[in-house]
A and B are shown apart, each in its own frame.
Chain A
Amino acid sequence: MADVTLDAKGLNCPLPILRAKKALKDMTSGQILAIEATDPGSAKDFESFCSQTGNELVKASEANKVYYYEIRKP
């Protein structure tokens, strides 16, 4: 279950990443951020974002052109 939800639908690169970063800043360790996005590039970008920042990408899926991610703050 997500602690915080971010609606990044309709936003294009780099906004989903920037908004996610901002949301994570206000969260505490172990909390999960859920993100919905429509930018197809976000799939690779969230992988890269997590591998470079130490956040954990716990879920990534896509349905009807909406991408869903869950990120756990370390």
Chain B
Amino acid sequence: MANQKKLAIIATKGTLDFAYPPLILATTAAALDYEVTIFWTFYGLQVLKKKRNLLISPLGNPAMPMPIPMPVLVQMLPGMESMATIMMKQKMASKGVASIDDLMEMALESDVKMIACQMTVDLFDFKHSELIDGLEYAGAARFFEVAQEADITLFI
């Protein structure tokens, strides 16, 4: 499409909650016929792992709604992060919210272009084989090539 709108997203976060905004916006924009590119950098790379294990932490996250009030000293106990993650995933499933695995699959199906930041891949000693197939590996200059053509650019 000649006049196709374009969306460019930088995704920098790798917790379960912050994996959602880039993927929800990317899949929705693709459904609205945008050409979408996500540039994954720093902790965002965790979302690209084949075996992704995204967690949510109540620690340092006072806005997270909790079923019962929980003092910070309790939040830091071993296992609390896994528990919060399991609870959040159950809550999401019960409310009909898509899983990250599903959203990623839908994004790839709808031709959302994924670029992984090669500098962060090196920094974290990740191997390309640990990350999902079909990624492009590039740096900041490549992002600007995409962003300068984009109608909307988001940093998440």
Stretch at the interface among A7-15, A26-34, A62-70: A7-15
Main secondary structure of the interface of B (DSSP, over half): loop
Bound CA span A52–B32, Å: 7
Give the Cβ gap from B52 to chain A, nearest Cβ, in Å: 20
Q: How many residues of B contact A (CB 8 A)?
A: 11
B96 touching A18, Cβ below 8 Å: no
Bound CA span A17–B30, Å: 11
- Identify the closest chain A residue to B5 (Cβ): A52
- Identify the closest chain B residue to A51 (Cβ): B32
| Interface positions of B (Cβ within 8 A of A) | 24, 27-28, 31-33, 95-98, 106
Query: For B31, what are the chain A residues with a Cβ–Cβ distance below 8 Å?
Result: 14, 17-18, 20-21, 49, 53
In this complex, which of B32, B33, B96 has the most chain A Cβ atoms within 10 angstroms of its Cβ?
B96
Instruction: Decide if A39 is an interface residue (CB 8 Å cutoff).
Output: yes
Bound CA span A39–B95, Å: 10
